[in-house]
Amino acid sequence: MKHLFCATALCVGLLSAPVASAVNVDAYIKKDRFNEVKISPNGDYLAATVPFEDKTALVILRRSDNKVTANFRLGKNSHVAGFWWVSPERVVISMSRKFGELDTPLLDGNLYAINADGTKPGLLVGQDVQSAGPGTKIQPKKVEQVAAFLVDELASDDKNVVISVEPFSDDPFTRAEKLDVFTGRRTPLARAPVRNARFITDNQGVVRFATGVGSDNVRKLYYRTGDGAEWKLISDELTAGGIEVPIGFSADDKVAYLQAEQKSGPDSIVSFDIASEARKEIVRDKVVDPDSIIYQGVTSVPVGAMFADGKPRSVFFDAAAPEARLYRSLEAAFGGDVVHITSKTSDGRLLLVQVWSDRNPGDFFLFDTVAKKAEHLLSRRDWFDPAEMSEVRSVKYAARDGLEVHGLLTVPHGSTGKQMPLIVMPHGGPFGKKDEWAFDSDTQMLAAAGYAVLQVNYRGSGGYGRAFQIAGAKGWGGAMQDDLTDATRWAIKEGIADPAKICLYGASYGGYASLMGVAKEPTLYKCAVGYVGVYDLPAMIKEDASSGTHRAKNWSAEWIGDDPAQLAATSPNRIAERIKVPVFLAAGGEDKVAPIEHSKMMERALVKAGTPVETLYYDTEGHGFYTEAHQREYYTRLLAFLARSLGGQVATAPAAKPAAAK
């Protein structure tokens, strides 16, 4: 791109951008102080997850003196994925193993527990359980290669919980068991009638539903009347026209609530009368699926849902219900920010409330429902001032075939929002994933550098109903890619984007879409960034086939495609000669999701085509960089690369390249 300079400042092309200094990358790569916080049932303790560079720990604090009474952490790449107060004194913990900042943490199926005072920590069930030794015949913890997941905390039982247990095998049948949270002893409760199942209990802790999917990728829902009863198929994805997922029961267990896909439009929440099996629609949004469920008090009785078409909003089955009044009161008290009650004391007096927005990463408050007072406890990222962050707006446009597509536009703080240098940033996944209205480090960093950022929930994304997601099937390089092109042209037409200053930047599938975008539309964009991307579809299909599961093979054929010629024609590395703009590629050598060889093939093809290409590879990183020094180098290089094409800001005091970088 040709840059035009005036005597003392950039010319008119950049005058719509706010005056900005170089970007402090360290502020954006710094880990949150806390991820999730919950109060104990008696209100004596707070438990919180604390992220570190290579692990996530759980800490427990005594409220009376803020003293840390327990600290639970494992080795490198081990992360606390979830935790539950199963009694006033004991917490059950699930773990995940994570290889890369952008890779979804993989639950390892191990469940641990620890007391609030730090005593009696231990592994209860999972693949890492070891024998008590040959010197004893008492083996309360069964040694087997299984993965276990919490199903029900059993609020009225301080000793036991309900878990699901599945063997390490191709498409396993799942078992429901009662687990003693002190000894690890397990008692069988039920066996699923369908593979890869998860269970749902009623308010008495009885397993009543099982939903699962076999190698044919057809999801089924089964119901039983109680312990020992036979399972009955009540919903089949093919005959019902969609998936039905139970979300809970009414207080008397006579009605179940399901989130039900529809043949067109978003999912609805329906009631399912146990006796008659009649269904009735309770809540449905015109645009988006329910994003999360709101429950009554400390029970598992659904009373409402959050819907997130842009800023999330709460909707209740009964607008006059106590929970509805509580949420409206809290939302008003916190200035309209999004409110999420993470936990409550068993008497309902104290609430642990998380408050967040597009410009606020999140604050935690303790709210006393009797005194009507809120006490600030913790901030996720108190080094950011929400007043100085950039606004995220909900947008929509019509794709070329008339399909309505939604997205998010981040506008630099203090800018006019018009004729801006623009980054189009497709999300990864791609299927079933969705960019959410929230504080996002990448988009805020890019906005601080002077760029507007457009995130597109193209067809195939989740959250907009079954038909919208299926519309993306086999759409790699086709209709899904066209949605990004149409979004870019919409931003130009609306006067948001300077048509001479637009780049594509994405990770994983987003990396693929970025490179495919500049190949398919060689004059629309000025550069492309592919972070941990896949660029050769035939190679990816082969990698999926070697995974060893019939389900994975079938999924690839159904969603990505099985026509070799079409897959090759929509592989960016095989059409690199069409790419005429600079490219930046970054990848990790330990990436199992998008192997680094994809990036190296893309690099070789670009070099052969004579296209400028920069690379940053780390042999020790996975599907995204999480070592702080590597992140700093990556974002410093990224901002410098974008600045050369679009004229935005660079990073402050770039660090020297770490020795391991290539």
pLDDT digit string, tens, across residues 605-642: 999 999 999 999 999 998 999 889 999 999 999 999 99
Average pLDDT over residues 111-130: 94
Give the residue extent of every domain in the chain.
Answer: 14-26+385-536+571-646
C-alpha to C-alpha distances, 522 to 516, 527, 577, nearest whole angstrom: 10, 10, 10
For 45-72, give one letter per residue: b (16+ CB within 10 A) or e. bbbbbbbeeebbbbbbbbeeeeeebbeb
Q: Is 36 helix (H, G, I), strand (E, B) or coil?
A: coil
Of the pLDDT bands very low, low, confident and very high (cuts 50, 70, 90), residue 662 is low
Q: What is the mean pLDDT of residues 16-37?
A: 82
What angle, 0 to 180 degrees and rounded to 10, lies between the N-to-C axes of helices 550-559 and 537-545?
Answer: 160
Report whether 103 contacts 622 (CB < 8 A). yes
Sheet holding 255-260, edge to edge: 244-249, 255-260, 268-273, 279-284
| Segment 304-322 mean pLDDT | 93
Q: Report yes or no: 134 and 95 within 8 Å, Cβ to Cβ.
A: no
> CB–CB of 369/352 below 8 Å?
no
For residue 134, pLDDT beyond 50: no
pLDDT tier for residue 142 given thresholds of 50, 70 and 90: confident
Cα angle: 469, vertex 473, 477; to 5 degrees: 115
Instruction: Say how many CA atoms lie within 13 Å of 421 toward its Cβ.
Output: 24
How much of the chain, in percent, has pLDDT values that exceed 70? 92
pLDDT at 619: 94
Mean pLDDT, residues 92-115: 83
Q: Encode pLDDT of 492-547 as tens digits.
A: 999 999 999 999 999 999 999 999 999 999 999 999 999 999 999 999 988 876 66
Which residue has better confidence, 568 or 660? 568
State yes or no: pLDDT of 1 exceeds 50. no
Q: Whole-angstrom Cα distance, residue 604 to residue 615? A: 11
Q: How many CA atoms lie within 13 A of 309 on its CB side?
A: 16
Going by DSSP bridges, is the β-strand pair 67-72/56-62 parallel, antiparallel, or unpaired? antiparallel
The CATH superfamily of 14-26+385-536+571-646 is: Alpha/Beta hydrolase fold, catalytic domain (3.40.50.1820)
- Looking at residue 100, what is its pLDDT? 59
Look at the alpha carbons of 181, 185, 189, 194 in this order and tell me if their dihedral is positive or negative: positive
Q: Which residue has the tokens 């009694």?
A: 87
Q: Is the pLDDT of residue 3 over 90?
A: no
Helix (H) or strand (E) holding 257: strand 255-260
Residue 76's pLDDT band, with cuts at 50, 70 and 90, is confident
Pairing of strands 290-295, 302-307: antiparallel
Q: What is the pLDDT of residue 102?
A: 61
654 — pLDDT class (breaks 50, 70, 90): low
Q: How many helices (H) and strands (E) does the chain have?
A: 12, 35
Could you tell me the CA-to-CA distances from 282 to 272, 285, 308, 453, 599 in Å, in that order? 10, 11, 18, 36, 48
Q: Answer with the residue of higher pLDDT: 403 or 213.
A: 403
- pLDDT score of 117 more than 80: yes
Q: Residues near 329 by Cβ (< 8 Å), separated by ≥ 6? A: none
Q: Is the pLDDT of residue 17 over 60?
A: no
User: Mean pLDDT throughout 286-297?
Assistant: 94
pLDDT at 83 over 80: yes
Q: Is 61:68 a contact under the CB 8 Å cutoff?
A: yes
Residue 153 has pLDDT above 80, yes or no: yes
Q: What is the structure's pLDDT at 16? A: 41
pLDDT band at 217 (very low <50, low <70, confident <90, very high): confident
Confidence of residue 51 (pLDDT cuts 50, 70, 90): very high
Instruction: Give 475: exposed, middle or buried? Use CB within 10 Å, 0-12, 13-18, 19+.
Output: buried
Amino acid identity of 346?
A: S
More confident residue, 660 or 222: 222
pLDDT of amino acid 258: 97
For residue 659, pLDDT over 50 is answered with yes
Nearest partner of 55 among 74, 82, 36, judged by Cα? 74
Q: What is the mean pLDDT of residues 198-206?
A: 96
338 has a pLDDT exceeding 50: yes
| Range 314-322 average pLDDT | 92
State how far the Cα of 581 lies from the Cα of 543, in Å rounded to an integer.
29
Q: What is the pLDDT of residue 111?
A: 96
Here the tokens at position 572 are: 């960016």
Instruction: Determine how many CB atoms are found less than 10 A away from the CB of residue 404.
Output: 11
Average pLDDT over residues 50-70: 94
